[in-house]
Structure 1
Amino acid sequence: MNDKLNINEQICFPIYLLAKDIIALYKPLLNALNLTYPQYLVMLVLWENETRTVNTIGKTLNLDSGTLTPLLKRLQQKELVTRTRSVTDERVVNISLTTKGAQLKNEAQCIPEQMMEAMNVSVEDLTTLKELVIKILNSKK
């Protein structure tokens, strides 16, 4: 009889291991940019649109303000972003890329390809995996 509680029968375990491995593969690439993985995620959001509110970044990355605020402060200390209160609503904090932050995008351009090589998978494999993960994530909404 197959034990449903056997670790090897669980879908969560290989996903957990994969997530840890992927973040570990990012580490040396991001160290070269002086970024942590969460900081890299924020930069990805800002590289898409140079100014975002803290709330928008938090919703995009599924991070609460308690996690996001110190992360943004560190990015500001690195002179990659600026944090300014909205003129129309002081509760709103806008996060904008600095010139240095925008230029860092050029150095990061090679990361997706390097990650694909490090994982030894094709674009098609990654696309299939991503689509399945998104399907699962969207099914709980």
Structure 2
Amino acid sequence: MIEQTLTVVALDGHTAHLEAQQKQACEGCNGRCGSQVFGKLFGTAKKTFPFKFESPVEVGQKVTLSLDDSHMVKHAFAVYMLPLFLSLIFAFIAAQLFIASEGWQILAAVLGGISGYFIAKTRVKSLKHDIKVIKIHPISIPLTQIDGD
């Protein structure tokens, strides 16, 4: 199980929009590595994740969710391996069955990769996520708002 603590940033009825804390790729090199350079180059736009809760939540509240690991493997296989696999199959068929020249084999491989991409895109949409709420954290009260202040 993959667990992540998210913060409620907006509410829309029973649907809460959650935002994860962004983590640095590596904090040991103080920005001299390639990971941080690429992170700065492509921006740090925060994305929100809509989730429908059965119990009421408030803006600013933290929620811990979990995701089954097996779904990640299915997504990774569909997105990365299917286009590559179909590209190789199409190139092999062009070479062995049709005895095509190298240019036609390359074109067949590109067509296989593109068709694999579209199949993967539809397959990923059909996969269901099994996201479970582990804990809804209470909103913490700042020390300045304790009774008697």
Flag the structure with higher strand content. 2
Question: If the length of structure 1 is used for normalisation, what is the TM-score?
Answer: 0.24
Question: If the length of structure 2 is used for normalisation, what is the TM-score?
Answer: 0.23
- Rg comparison, structure with higher value: 2
Q: Bigger relative contact order, structure 1 or 2, given CA contacts below 8 A and separation 6+?
A: 2
Flag the structure with higher helix content. 1
